[in-house]
A and B are shown apart, each in its own frame.
Chain A
């Protein structure tokens, strides 16, 4: 099942906003435009599931704190956010960006907010991946007696 491209794009940006560092998002998107709260930022928990043996039956691993928010811009677009942690401003900003990405401001936000977040996340991951790769074992086999 493949989702239509506009849904994939929205999933992608919502995930990016959820994973963003709240302080960095606040830097890139400091001024919140006027909006009405449909569901004011609320802190709760989501039960994270795993699977037995990695691929088998689901089981409950433990919860993660999550803040959710739904709001409407004065122009009518509705934005949603579910972000890890307990930062209400983070959830509000994520919902605002989600809503504004449905407006004329999308192009500007893409360049001013989403692109830097994406680049920085990518750099963080790449940094850890490089460190991990440096600890990769290169085995070599010693010459055994019978080979001599």
Chain B
């Protein structure tokens, strides 16, 4: 129970003024610009866009600056902002087969058509602190040399041409479960409250905006045996895709921009069930920005949640439990409920105190009567 309390306004004003001062830090140090955050802390920006569920690098960078680098607070700011925007419509589903790739790797096929492209990855770095970055005025020179055989023509445009998905090769041999294409309007948890049992499209929406740490831990739990799904990364790709939308007053679709996304498709060992033949099955991850840890995690959790559809047993593993996963994946919801317990609960607590006093008195009286 909450009661209206008066007073404290002056203290709150002073707290906010101090917050602003602390956010700025030492004024002897140059202030960080939003553009610097956008360009140099791009992976934090990507995470805020993915979990904030709004692709706008400038706003995500601003949110990071305002929140003093508290990324969940930044996600909260983005979520609050997006509720103020009118919804113009929905895009056609993006075509990840026509992605302009900056990274594309497969753990299942060495020589896949289109090749393995490492891209700007932390993989194979030694994870040693680079003290050169701490030194003043460093600008590492670009040492990228042209490849031996350039796969692009003179325009480079056809890098955005179709690069087949690895799962497509397996499909051809009938060794992998196929996706059923469709054009039904997917449910939108930002518009209607989440209903359980959920459909796969609703689960994918909840996972792509879910907390990276939570989704990562769940995915890890499946690897350690809690709902094991034997996943291989069939393909991981990062790049930009065009966003296209139908404009009713024009009567045709136009590109309204492009977004960077990370896509992960797992290929999972599956020995068959009561309803399905032995074949490879799939998990899917698609996340805004360069966010590969999240995309891989999402694909593992997506696969674990498909146990029912594939006729597998429910082993009681957390990652198989749709309600557990979907109701706890959102870090803004979780933070709101968690942190509300720090707000005044004076009347609740007064009632608790009285209850405990009465129970104690009764227990003591009963004990004395028995003696």
Using CB atoms and an 8 Å cutoff, list the residues of chain A in contact with chain B: 3, 7, 10-11, 14-15, 18-19, 42-66, 68, 70, 80, 82-86, 122-123, 125-139
Contacts and interface: CB of A to CB of B under 8 A. Distances in A.
Interface in B152-172: 152, 154-157, 159-160, 165, 167
B257 A83 contact: yes
B91 A46 contact: yes
Nearest to B171: A55
A143 B190 CA distance: 57
Interface stretch (B82-90, B348-356, B363-371): B82-90
B202 interface: yes
A83 B255 CA distance: 8
A148 B291 CA distance: 44
A55 B50 CA distance: 21
Q: Which residue among B144, B154, B183 has the maximum number of chain A CB atoms within 10 Å of its CB?
A: B144
Given A59-B205, A80-B249, A139-B111, 6 more contacts: A18-B254, A50-B96, A66-B256, A85-B58, A125-B159, A133-B147
Contact of B119 (A46, A52, A132): A132
Interface of B: 49-50, 53-56, 58-59, 82, 85-94, 96-97, 100-103, 110-111, 115-120, 144-148, 150-152, 154-157, 159-160, 165, 167, 179-190, 200-202, 204-205, 208-209, 242-243, 245, 247, 249-250, 252-259, 261, 263, 265, 282, 284, 286, 288
Contact of A58 (B93, B119, B243): B93
10 contacts: A10-B252, A18-B254, A19-B255, A42-B86, A46-B245, A50-B93, A50-B204, A53-B265, A62-B209, A133-B117
A3 B259 CA distance: 25
Q: What's the dominant secondary structure at chain A's contact region? A: mixed
A47 B119 contact: no
A21 to B, nearest CB: 12
Contact of A52 (B111, B154, B160, B179): B179
Contacts of B202: 59
B156 A48 contact: no
A129 B155 CA distance: 10
Q: Which residue among A10, A132, A133, A136 has the maximum number of chain B CB atoms within 10 Å of its CB?
A: A132
Contact of A132 (B102, B186, B189): B102
Contacts, number: 251
Contacts of A85: 56, 58, 257
Contact of A54 (B82, B155, B284): B284
A54 B15 CA distance: 48
B56 A3 contact: no
Contacts of B87: 44-47, 63
B96 A49 contact: no
Contacts of A136: 115-118, 147, 151
B156 A125 contact: yes
Contact of B90 (A11, A47, A54, A86): A47
B203 to A, nearest CB: 8
A49 B200 contact: no
A34 to B, nearest CB: 23
A10 B148 CA distance: 38
Given A48-B55, A86-B56, A61 B286 contact: yes
B257 A19 contact: yes
Nearest to B258: A19
Contacts of A70: 249
Contacts of A18: 254-257
A62 B259 CA distance: 11
A126 B49 CA distance: 26
Contacts of B209: 62
A125 to B, nearest CB: 5
A59 B157 contact: no
A147 to B, nearest CB: 18
Contacts of B250: 80
A66 B86 CA distance: 10
